[in-house]
Structure 1
Amino acid sequence: MTEETATGAHHGDPGPDKGIPEEGVQPRAKWANKMEFLLSMTGQVIGLGTVWRFPYLCYKNGGSVFFVPYVLCSLFCGVPLFFLETALGQYTGEGGVTAWRKICPMFEGVGIAGQVIVTYLNIYYIVIFAWAFFYLFQSFKNPLPWSTCDNAWNTDSCHGRLSIFANPHLFQPDANWSFLNNITIPTDYYDNPSIINGNHSLLEETSSENEFWIRRVLRVSDNMSVANVHWDLALCLLLAWVICYFCIFKGIKTTGKAVYFTATFPYLLLFILFIRGVSLPGAGDGLAYYLTPDFSKIADPNIWTDALMEVIFSLALCQGVLPALGSYNKYNNNCYRDCIAICCLNFATSIFAGFAVFSVLGFMARQLDLPIGEVATAGPSLAFIAFAKALSMLPGACFWSVLFFLMILILGIDNQFVRVECLATAITDMFPRQLRRPGRRELLVLVIAVVCFLFGLSLVTEGGIVLFTLIANYGGSEIPLLFIALFETVVIAWVYGADRFCDNIEDMIGYRPIPVLKYCWLFITPLICGVTLLVFTPHYSSINVHGYVIGVGGVAFGSILMLIPLMCIPLFILITLCKNPDNMTTPSGDLRQARPHKPVLSLCKRVIFKAQGQPNRTRAERAEKVMMEEHSGV
């Protein structure tokens, strides 16, 4: 066997297998074709945040001027991280944990931290689809139940769309609502400071859409108990998990087929809603508000923080999802071109969704004779209150409501089952002998689904929205994601070696990526993440969830959720130090190195770190390696 063959220098060769599969152990699957990979990536990065987070951030941060920091953060942080994670998975052929173990054993905790965050997301994110299913089923009723005040859950102070049109003078920001002094307000409303502070807050809290959301869907109580599960929401949650399970229970064989529908159909629905939105009266006002830049905002550090975090959230970075999806690619797939295309598509879709959202908000603002700023909101409130109100004003409200919530479901369920797939991939790759056998994959996904469903039941109780808020604001918050992003770039660029990683990429795709990517990994991206961590000051202590102020116990619980992924990194450094102190930073000998004698990192033609070489092997290990290569035909 020649030296060239041993080092795997021929571009396009698949390289040695991980080993001869044991009897009964299935080989690791690959995407059936490139389109399945691209659609899976598209489905993961085009999610609910595209519809309800990006447009709101544009409104909040000066309209279209938000595009400037968003594009810059995408170029110098989003694209480098997106490509790094995808190329890492494709190069190692491993999921989100074992990929880091093979690149640098001491930083396996980086991958574990990402999987902890994915687990949080698998538990709480799917609850949104339970809500969406609930709204979808209610959308078949005429009139829409959230558009009226004659339901059992409504209070005496409820006002619906008809009362707004009948008394438009009462729904201005400076309207006199002093007559409310003669109305008995429900006792639990006094628990909410935002209601007592002004008439406009009372107006918002007592709208029919808000009462449907709070009193019918969430059914919050004074003590926010998590003991009483709402059976109808629990059934909706179960339905979401059943759909998710059957999309991925066979691995990428079913995932790759499901994404043909789940990644493309939302675009059709979004386009239909866009056409309907721009044809509404007042749509131009909403679009003007969305696109008019306020350049005074550009100097505000918050706009840059919001842009960076939107890039990280929208591209699904630092969660171990991208390495898992990339690991099912063929070795010589051009992931460089794919990543750039997906990032551009994500940005274009976000802007297009903004047109659809703000055209409808402009219509609603004109109908209510209110400023756009009074109806613009983000998160679940945009979909389940603001958009629910706007849809109820349209002719054929039931049809448009069904269409909208169907889009929300398909957008989100795609995100969900890809995340579950990536968690299952990570666990399977950690225990291949036990789990890569016939029937084990289906059982593993079933266990993940059942466990996450049981934890999720606490989120469909009277106090479920409090737990939902805690997990969202702490467990999947900015701080752990920024730390993971910082460690990922430092490990690849400075420990494994940016030049060696670029050599690996060249070996895979046939050419080196642009040099600016190397310097992003070395300096720019970690600097951006580090500075953001230093200036980022979250206001977690002031969280108020529908009148319930989260106390010390809730903050402590949320802090523990946030610390768990962060502690994984130093913990696994310590474990590696105890188990294998001699090879803490030495990559696995199974990894193909086209230029093993080349320095792993150089700057300005000066060698920073010399070639590391392969880990020491015993005679038996070397003989086994030769047998593996001959078996794979290399």
Structure 2
Amino acid sequence: MWRPPHLDFITANVYMPIFHQKDWFFPFKSGAILLIIWTVTGFLIFIGIRKLGKTFVCLKGIIGVAMLLNMLMSLYYTPADADWHEFFKFDLSPLSSFGIWADAVGFVIVSLALGTGSVQKISSLSDFNENFFYNALITSAADILFSLISGITHFSSIASMAHRIYPEDEIPHRIKFMFTHEHVTPITMFPEHIIWSTKFGWIFGVLHYLAIGFLGITHTVVCFDMVKFAFEELVLKFKQREAFLGYDEDNKIQFSATCGVVIFGIIASIGLIGPNGITVSKLWIEFSSIGFMLVSLSEIFAINIHYGFRRYLANVQTMLQNHQHKSHLLYTLSAIWYYLFAPTFIVVTILFKVYKNKSIKVLEYSFPSGFQFYGWMVVILAAITVLVPLIHYLLAFAKIHAVSHIFEPLPSWGPINYNDFSKNLKNERAASVNI
């Protein structure tokens, strides 16, 4: 069977993900570090340790340094005639293909893997107790920058590989072919592995996976904790029969502030997918399909929120832990959706794709008609989740006539004191039982 020359290059120089094990090469040192990291992750999730962000705060900068180094090295190996104009090529034709809507799930997953959300994860380790609107803008700008870095790295890595392997007269065609080849796609999702083929490249791999691994630990543990908190809050509210929308004006203002954060976070999340959308759409027939990115924005509500919007919900969680403002059924249901049901739908969708293709393949494939409803289910449920706070936000804004009342947190907001909150929760439960 004929094998493209770039597959031999990948086999000899690049680590292949586990789902393409036919002929893979694994750098032992980085692989051992990765195994240790995720073993520790599982242990910490099992015992439920929190506040790991402060422990590993020194690793926050490694992600940025690693991504920048990755981009610079990929540009160093990329010849000048790499057709950079293709990087910003627009194509709206995929909008007419309804099968693309289902494949958008895979698109967004790959896009997130390329960098979107990584800076959001870093920001989640910082105290977020000042003006969250300002912090959100800074975080969004930083994430866009890192997404562009990741996209340039992806493009230049492919071009560099093509120039090393193919004759000059075949390079334009071969670059486009490599962008759509099923075995090249998973490799270029992780361009740091191409750097491993250079001298001392394994050191970069170790640092990269140390940072990603420890940030992954904090992300996963906090997500489990958020789901646990949401269910506890929901049960307590129903036991107390409390008025979920509150009694006094301060409570309503706080509820409006919650909705304002939710809406702004969703808008920011949509904006953040843009740079990586331009990048990942190259994996399809054309280098850059903006139409495919627009389709995927419908599903980014559920997926990117799960990775990048956790900081906003954590800020709302801090507000809700104030004894005077515990009146938000909306937040509780949203947290359960964002951290439990949305990821579940995403996993089910990807599993159907894997079952159909016998591998993780997103090219030239759409769901069978019987399975397309899973992609649409993510869109519909995410839209419903957004609709309720949007309506309440608009009503509150029309009544208050002051944006500052919606986007400015009260002085009671601050870092979470989980121990005190647990005690208060137990006391409220005891009081509800006595009543």
- TM-score tier by shorter-chain length is 0.3 to 0.5
Structure with the larger helix share: 2
TM-score (norm 2): 0.44
Greater length-normalized contact order (CA 8 Å, ≥ 6 residues apart): 1
Larger Rg: 1
